[in-house]
Amino acid sequence: MEKQGIVSIWLGNIKNQKQLEKYVDLTYDEEGESVPSKFFEDFNIDMDETDEDFIEKAVLEEKSDEISVLLEGCSYEEVII
C-alpha cells in the first residue's frame, strides 16, 4: 500500500549480491506474467501494489549497526535519516 512520505526499509543478512537478487527480484513465467519472489512471499507483499522501479537493494562489504552507514548511497538517505 502506498502512503505519501512513507518508506519501508528491510534489513537482513545475506552473503552476496547474487543471492540478494535471487531473493528479491521478480521472475516471469512462460506467458510473461510476473512471479513473486521469495521476499514478496515472506513479507506478504502484493506485487501489484509495488513498483519495481523504486526497489533499491544493496549488500554491504562490512557489517554495521549505524543506520547512516546502512543507508549510505541510497536515494533520499538524508531525508530518511
Write the pLDDT tens digit of every residue in 10-55: 988 898 999 999 999 989 999 998 899 999 999 999 888 888 888 8
Is residue 39, in this structure, part of any structural domain at all? yes
Q: How many domains does the chain have?
A: 1
- The answer to whether position 71 is within a domain reads yes
Q: How many CB atoms lie within 10 A of CB 7?
A: 12
Please say if the pLDDT value at position 1 is more than 70: no
Query: What is the spatial distance between Cα 3 and Cα 65, in angstroms, rounded to a whole number?
Result: 27
- Phi and psi at 59, nearest 5°, equal -115, 125
Domain ranges, residue 30: 17-80
Is residue 14 within 8 Å of 59, Cβ to Cβ?
A: yes
User: Domain for residue 6, yes or no?
Assistant: no
Q: What is the pLDDT of residue 62?
A: 87
Question: Is residue 3 pLDDT above 70, yes or no?
Answer: yes
Q: How far is CA 54 from CA 8, 21, 31, 58, in A?
A: 11, 15, 24, 13
How many other CB atoms are found less than 10 A from the CB of residue 39?
19
Q: What is the pLDDT of residue 44?
A: 93
In a domain, 11, yes or no: no
